[in-house]
Amino acid sequence: MIVIGIGSNLPHREFGRPLDVGKAAISYIEQSGIRIAGLSPWYKTDPVGTRAQPSYVNAVVIVRTGLGPHALLKYLRATEALFGRKRSFINAPRTLDLDIIAYDALSIARGNLTIPHPRYHERAFVLRPLADIAPSWRDPQSGKSAETLLREISDQQQLSRIA
C-alpha cells in the first residue's frame, strides 16, 4: 500500500483556501494516472514546530501507481512546485505539502528519500487520517497499527475533523 500525506496552510491564488488546494491537488494527481484508492477525512491541525502560522488542513490518500518510489517523489515535488510550494525553511507555511508516508513494505534511506517517512509516527495529523481509512495498515518496521502508533504519541496534537 502506498500512502501519501497531504497538507496545506496557505491559500493559492487560483485554487483558493487550503482545503480547496488539497482537493485540487488530489484531482491533479488523479489526472496524471495515479489512482486514488482511498481518501481520509480532512482535518484542521495545529502547525508543527512553530505556532506563528495558520492552521493546516491535512488528509491521507492511498494510491496505486506504476511509479517507483524515487519517480513518485520526483512527481510529488513537481506537483508541490506547480501549486506554489516554496521551501524557505523547515516547517515553513506552504500552499501544498505531499509526503510519501509508506510505499508497500519498503524501507529506504537514500538521498532525499526516506520511507517510511521519518517522522510520521510522531504526527497525529498523519496517523489519525491513516487509521480512519486503513485500520489494518501496519508500519513495515515496527509492525504496529496506525491506531497503536497514534495512542503512543506523547504530545497529542489538536485535530478537528472538517465536515
Residue 97 is a catalytic residue: yes
Residue 85 is a catalytic residue: yes
Helix (H, G, I), strand (E, B) or coil at 101: strand
Q: Which of 87, 97, 123, 128 is catalytic?
A: 97
Q: Which of 20, 46, 85, 161 is catalytic?
A: 85
If we measure between CA atoms, which residue out of 99, 79, 81, 9 comes closest to residue 45? 9
Q: Which of 20, 64, 87, 94 is catalytic?
A: 94
Q: Is 127 exposed, middle or buried (0-12, 13-18, 19+ CB in 10 A)?
A: buried
Q: Which of 20, 99, 104, 110 is catalytic?
A: 99
Residue 94 is a catalytic residue: yes
DSSP state of 90: T
Residues labelled catalytic = 85, 94, 97, 99
